[in-house]
Copies of this chain bind each other. A is one copy, B any other.
Amino acid sequence: MSEFDIDTAVTLKEPGRYTATVTDRWCLPFGNVNGGYLLGLATAALSDALPFADPVAISATYLRPSMPGSAEIDVEVVRTGRRQAVGEAKLNVDGREVVRVIATYADLRGSADARMVQQLAAPALPAPELCQKLQTDAFPALTIAQRLEFRYPELPGWVAAAPTNNATHEFWMRFADGSDADTRALPSLVDFATPAAFELSVWRSTTVELTNYVRAVPAPGWLACRATTRYLTSGYHEEDFEIWDSSGVLVAQSRQLMLDLG
């Protein structure tokens, strides 16, 4: 069982209500919990409650920051159809709602795929073993860094305190424990990398809303990622994130709106 699965395990307490522990193992430098990890707790409950395996569309609205603690997840099965099911989850940590999620689940394995069009190019990355490892050991509070491995063709400008003003990062990512991502992990993984907006010298921001589309079941192995921030105005910026599997298939597309904290 992967670290991610262990740390997002949920227990059915009564119909529509799950309990869980928000561990201190996916934290950001100021001690608060990464939003993708919080989403992982919500998807664990939704995956249990809904009759399909794959979250094809999932929107998370973040209400307030969360520290590690005790969680309750209230799940409503909104609709169950022949091909899709919709559920809503409210994640409460220590009695306060921190994120609300609406998700549509389906079965991507069973879909007839007579036709595929992919007019997008995968990141052109050298093999992971030819890339550089992003070192994040300097921040002990950044526990999430211990859960993941990143490989960059060239380290981003911000690492050397020289942001490039070109906020596109392309890199490899995988879980540090060597486990492979499944379709439930993908919506969390899009939020696990360092923000592309660091290249624009935007150092502190918080997620307002994050939408994920899981498009295919990922093949095992490293994941090729592309993160881009292209528009910053009125104190907000977006981050687009793509995850491509080791066979060159786009498996997840996401976009989040972030509020700049100055």
Contacts and interface: CB of A to CB of B under 8 A. Distances in A.
Contacts of A118: 230-233
Nearest to A118: B231
B56 A208 contact: yes
Among A104, A113, A118, max chain B CB count under 10 A is at A104
B232 A59 contact: no
B84 A208 contact: yes
Copies in the complex: 2
Interface in A72-119: 78-79, 83-84, 86, 88, 97, 100, 102, 104, 108, 111-113, 115-119
A120 interface: yes
Nearest to A57: B209
Contacts of A235: 111-113
A118 B119 CA distance: 24
The size bracket of the interface on A is: 35 or more
Contacts of A112: 235
B61 A233 contact: no
A34 interface: no
A64 B80 CA distance: 11
A232 B115 contact: yes
Interface stretch (A17-25, A35-43, A174-182, A251-259): A251-259
Contacts of A255: 211, 213, 253, 255
A245 interface: no
Interface string A230-262: 111111111000000000011001010101000
Interface of A: 56-57, 59, 61, 63-64, 78-79, 83-84, 86, 88, 97, 100, 102, 104, 108, 111-113, 115-120, 166-167, 200, 208-209, 211, 213, 215-216, 230-238, 249-250, 253, 255, 257, 259
